[in-house]
Amino acid sequence: VLAVTSAVRADDYPSHPITIIVPFAAGGPSDAMARVLAERMRTALGQPLVIENVTGAGGSIGVGRAVHSPPDGYTISFGHLGTHVANGAVYKLNFDLVADLEPVVLLPSNPMIVVSKNAVPATSLKELIAWLKTRPSPATAGTAGAGSGSHIAGVYFESVTGIRLQYVPYRGTAPALNDLIAGQIDVIVDQTSNSIGQVRAGTIRAYAISDDKRLASAPEIPTAEEAGLKGFNMVLWSGLWVPKGTPKEIVTRLNAAAVEALNDPAVKKQLESQGLKMTPQDQLTPEALGTRQKAEIAKWWPIIKAANIKVD
């Protein structure tokens, strides 16, 4: 009996609840997307998917926890361009983001949005950049930690505009957003799905999105290029991974459940209303996520290493 139960059984998978490790705070954009998917994947798999928020160090603590879990399909690593690409250039990780993980599915993409507290005296991106440039000391920018999406987007924004920011790390952009609303920090270069509700409510101000097209769900916000800033193009895609060595049939099963969830019109509507862009159908394979992750490592690591980010 022992030998049977300790082996990875693909035939009766899943026979008990699955954990999705979200490496950022509850209520943030990663957590929100994971919860929408978990709910619908439960129907597809016949078992609950439980979210565990394991935060810290730009998401690398939570990813490490998933990497070192048994490769049996019961622990899933939720992450994105920050955690599964940028972190490898920022931290000395005790695991390899590509070799130690098995891609499952490429999840929807989030354009980044430049937002500020309402007290900032700017009404356009140009005015915001001028304001940021003339601060006696750098303005404060909330992030979800070094190497997170909001941090990398901030570094990219600095490099395109020539401004300097003073980063304030949080355990996710949910708590960072709370401090922005309260006026305790100046700006966030945030995932759109995190900020858009507060922008609509008028509690913070939006200047531009880092995409080539305006959002269907918020057409009043200009693209960076329309607002006068060229070369600020970035979408933060997310994904699901499992530890390396997870049986292929289990990866296939999880992929099918995620694809079923993403193709559900109610899920699609919910994610799109938050500004997210759905994954194209031909990109929904595990291979597409693996290819994307490797291509983005090649693109971003040199940029991040050049920025010389200190994490100590």
Shorter beta-carbon distance to ligand MLT: residue 101 or 251: 101
Which positions ≥6 away from 135 have C-beta within 8 Å? none
Shorter beta-carbon distance to ligand MLT: residue 13 or 237: 237
Q: How far apart are CA 153 and CA 111, in angstroms?
A: 10
Q: How far apart are CA 304 and CA 94, in angstroms?
A: 19
Task: Provide the residue count of the chain.
Answer: 312
Least distance from ligand MLT to the Cβ atom of residue 250, Å: 26
Q: Which residues of this chain interact with ligand MLT, rule CB under 6 A?
A: 24-25, 28-31, 82, 144, 148-150, 172-174, 191
Least distance from ligand MLT to the Cβ atom of residue 280, Å: 22
Least distance from ligand MLT to the Cβ atom of residue 118, Å: 21
Beta bridge partners of 239: 79, 106
Select from 25, 204, 238, 205 the least CA-distant residue to 111: 238
Backbone torsions φ then ψ of 125, nearest 5 degrees: -60, -40
Least distance from ligand MLT to the Cβ atom of residue 82, Å: 4
Least distance from ligand MLT to the Cβ atom of residue 66, Å: 15
Least distance from ligand MLT to the Cβ atom of residue 142, Å: 9
Burial annotation 242-266 (CB, 10 A radius, 16+ → b, else e): bbeebbeebbebbbebbbebbebee
Least distance from ligand MLT to the Cβ atom of residue 26, Å: 9
Q: How far apart are CA 38 and CA 60, in angstroms?
A: 21
Q: How far apart are CA 254 and CA 41, in angstroms?
A: 8
* CA end-to-end distance (rounded Å), the chain: 48
Shorter beta-carbon distance to ligand MLT: residue 175 or 290: 175
Least distance from ligand MLT to the Cβ atom of residue 148, Å: 3
Shorter beta-carbon distance to ligand MLT: residue 14 or 145: 145
Given the DSSP bridges, would you call strands 187-191 and 101-117 parallel, antiparallel or unpaired? antiparallel
Select from 14, 49, 53, 47 the least CA-distant residue to 30: 53
Enumerate long-range contacts of 218-223, CB under 8 Å, 24 or more apart: 218/192, 218/275, 221/113, 222/125
Shorter beta-carbon distance to ligand MLT: residue 173 or 293: 173
Shorter beta-carbon distance to ligand MLT: residue 146 or 250: 146
Least distance from ligand MLT to the Cβ atom of residue 244, Å: 23
Shorter beta-carbon distance to ligand MLT: residue 47 or 270: 270
For 219-288, the DSSP string reads: TTSPBTTTTT-TT---EEEEEEEEETT--HHHHHHHHHHHHHHHT-HHHHHHHHHTT-BPPPGGG-SHHH
Shorter beta-carbon distance to ligand MLT: residue 191 or 223: 191
Shorter beta-carbon distance to ligand MLT: residue 105 or 250: 105
